[in-house]
Homo-oligomer: A and B are copies of this chain.
Amino acid sequence: MTITLRIPDIDADDLPLEEQAYRRLRQALMEGIFSPGDKLSIRRIAEALGTSPMPARTALRRLATEQALDALPSGTVLVPRLTRAAFREVSAIRAELEPLAIRLAATRVDARKLDALTAVVAEHDAARAAGRPEVYLQKDREFLFGLYREADAPMLLSMIEALWLRRGPLFWDARWILMGRPPQAAHRHELMLAALRRGAGEEAAQELKTEIERMTAFLIDAVQFEGEASAAPRPIRRRQSAAR
């Protein structure tokens, strides 16, 4: 890891440094600041964050605890490189938990929220048309987590966040691939919204489960996973400048 880190700032100056560090690192994981396999040393992260090592150390340990990062027996912390099996596992868990969140949200979400999320879907599709994968991924997240928060199920939300963090770097690497799918194949968010408007939570949950399963099947064939020989050129693994 020889590239200068540009870890995002966040607007939370009144929180303890350790919490700020944690949140900034979470965001960095979702936004491609790190690549799969990167080694995160406490001192280097602390320097990048502009703190002493303690907050960085705590934040890294917290992220390892929730499996957003991998910790080796030596204590070294790495950005996860997912094997094919690990990616399947994450997806299988998502396919159970995220529909559950939708079912719970369906009993609580109101029309105003659904309208707001309709606008997010439009922005999601616009980002796709404009060729802005970073915005595309961010709108996908904004849509789904907008719904999951309606579930008012804090532990479930935290678990889903951990799943997204774990596969965040891989998704970032695959962002052009993901965005290159035809719109009707890429997501079923309109279908979900339509179902939710009819009060059909189970149907919306099923649409999401299908979306996750199909995205998994698509990426399984499209991505180079850890531990597999290079039968094709490696997908682009380096960061480009963030478009946002």
Contacts and interface: CB of A to CB of B under 8 A. Distances in A.
| Assembly stoichiometry (copies) | 2
A155 B90 contact: yes
Nearest to A62: B65
Contacts of A158: 67
Interface in A70-124: 75, 86, 89-90, 92-93, 96-97, 100, 104
Contacts of A16: 75
Contact of A61 (B61, B86, B93, B159): B61
Interface residues of A, number: 26
Contacts of A104: 92
A93 B89 contact: no
Nearest to A67: B155
A93 B86 contact: no
Nearest to A166: B155
Contacts of A96: 96-97, 100
B62 A156 contact: no
Interface string A55-69: 000100110011100
B86 A155 contact: yes
Contacts of A159: 93, 159, 162
